Amino acid sequence: MVTAAANDADRFGIGAGRPRPPYKPRAVTCAHCGAGLQIKDERAQLVVCDYCGSRLNVTAAEAKVLGSGPGRKPDFPLALGARFLFKGAKYEVIARMRFIEDDDESEQSLQYLLYHPRRGTLYLDEYQGDWSISWPTHVMPTSDALAMTRGRILRTHDNRSWVTDGTGTYELKYVDGALPWIANVGDKIRYAEFSEKSGSGLQYEAEAQGDEIEYGTGQSLSADAVRRAMGASARPAPGAAKPSAPAFRASPALDAAQMRNWYLTLIVIALAIAGLSFLAYAWAAGAGRIVLQQSFGRAELTGQKLSDSFHVAGAGGLIRVRVEAPALDNEWMAVDLAVVEGEDNVLYDFDSDVSYYHGVEDGESWSEGSHADSHYIEIPKAGDYRLLVHAVGAAGETENAQAPPRGLNLTVTAGAVMDDYFLYAGIFALVVFGILVYAFFKWRSAEAGDDD
């Protein structure tokens, strides 16, 4: 049985194609020096003669000289005619360009136009040792790509999100080879570059010149990928010097998406550490069991006074001794304390200073010091203990000790956990969080390249 498809194929002869016509690069003669030149891409509009550097308009039947060479040739690591392997196809370098950004000669990027007669053209870029390759796309941004600033998110109509790498203006400083447009040294192109938010390494770009805006997409290339793509086939033009070795950054620079992700990750980690530290502080502050709460009057503190007995159970452990003088008012107290086992066996002695001063200066209230102080003591074993207390103090700014100005309260907590470290860790993490947030916004507001 003959199928409908076979009938169609028979009727329209679609089953039989012709062989492809041979690929024949176009030959032109330099109208200035007479050198024979070969044009790989028939769309070429501008050719720069390899021999005399003349710029030739090759759109007419006869090549027409547009002007002299474009100035000093940069050190291109890829020669005209060099092969570049990408996705299994061998491309050839048919043109090279050097751009600078915002009149800054140090902000240089080298661009290569790669050509393949079946697959078309690609743009290979090298900026300060970072390499990338791009090709046209028609996927458009949902907002003005050229109005973005670094770190901002741009969305495109294929539901991708991109982080702005930077925007600016490129100026063409040098061109050679053959181009499908008439390029003039001094041409300025507004650009915006983006990295995919996910950190995939994919890139998106917008370029505007005159009334035209074009979009491109591409990817960064590792040094190994570039070396493999170049292989050993890079060859200089006849008579040309051997090209310089390609430059690679020692460690690939992070793109904007990766930088943004790093900042946000670190900010979240710092915030999480701060939160956990404060939670731990709250838990530690409430840990343990109060085994002694006792108040002492001023008179009791002038001599040495033993507290009531308190019991530490289990294998001992930490106790927290909190000294509090809530009535201190522009006064200070120095309290000598000792942990006494049984009747008179002093295990540890320590002192505690509490002072609280406040006032109004230049119309503003101020205060310093605290009404309370805490100490942690390691108790080696279970048993009954007491605290021996003695205090001195004074009012005002005098350092001469007198009788204690106020009474105080002692609170002993058995099974305590040192909470200060958690508090310090939380404060430190908060400071780091603040520094990171500041650095993130500073990075976003800086021009791309400032921190490279």
**Would you tell me which residues interact with other proteins (CB under 8 A)?**
5, 8-9, 11-24, 26, 41-43, 45, 59, 88-90, 116-121, 136-140, 142, 157-158, 180-182, 211-214
Residue appearing with tokens 């006494």: 340
What is the nearest approach in angstroms of other proteins to the Cβ of residue 157? Answer: 4
User: Pick from 379, 369, 374: which is nearest to 421 by CA?
Assistant: 374
Tokens for 9, please give them: 């194929």
Least distance to other proteins, CB of residue 156, Å: 8
Q: Nearest approach, Cβ of 427 to other proteins (angstroms)?
A: 49
| Beta carbon nearer to other proteins, 181 or 350 | 181
Place of tokens 């003959």: 2
Q: Which is nearer to other proteins, 206 or 429 (CB)?
A: 206
16/360 with CB nearer other proteins: 16
Number of H helices, E strands in the chain: 5, 25
Question: 13: which 2 tokens?
Answer: 């002869």
Q: Judged by CB, which is closer to other proteins: 89, or 264?
A: 89
Question: Cβ 257 to other proteins, closest distance in Å?
Answer: 21
Q: How far is the CB of 98 from other proteins (least distance, A)?
A: 22
Give the three-class secondary structure for 301. helix
Nearer to other proteins, 42 or 420 (CB): 42
Amino acid identity for residue 139 in this structure: V
By beta-carbon proximity to other proteins, the closer residue of 188 and 289 is 188
| Closest separation in Å from C-beta 182 to other proteins | 6
CA 313/CA 135 separation, integer angstroms: 75
The half-sphere exposure of 325 on its side-chain side, counting CA atoms within 13 A, is 28
Nearer to other proteins, 117 or 342 (CB): 117
Smaller CB distance to other proteins: residue 54 or 217?
217
CB of 196 to other proteins, least distance (A): 16
Q: Give the separation between CA 215 and CA 193, rounded to whole angstroms.
A: 10
Q: Considering only CA atoms, which of 416, 388, 393, 212 is closest in space to residue 304?
A: 388
Burial level of 310, CB count in 10 A (0-12/13-18/19+)?
buried
Cβ at position 172, least distance to other proteins in Å: 16
Minimum CB distance to other proteins, residue 58 (Å): 12
Which amino acid belongs to residue 334? Answer: A
Indicate the SS3 state at residue 263. Answer: helix
Measured from the CB atom, the residue of 13 and 36 that comes closer to other proteins is 13
Backbone conformation region of residue 316, classed left if phi is above 0, alpha if psi is from -120 to 50, else beta: left
Q: How far is CA 268 from CA 104, 162, 263, 265, 367, in A?
A: 37, 20, 9, 5, 34
Q: What is the DSSP pairing of strand 188-196 with strand 383-395?
A: unpaired
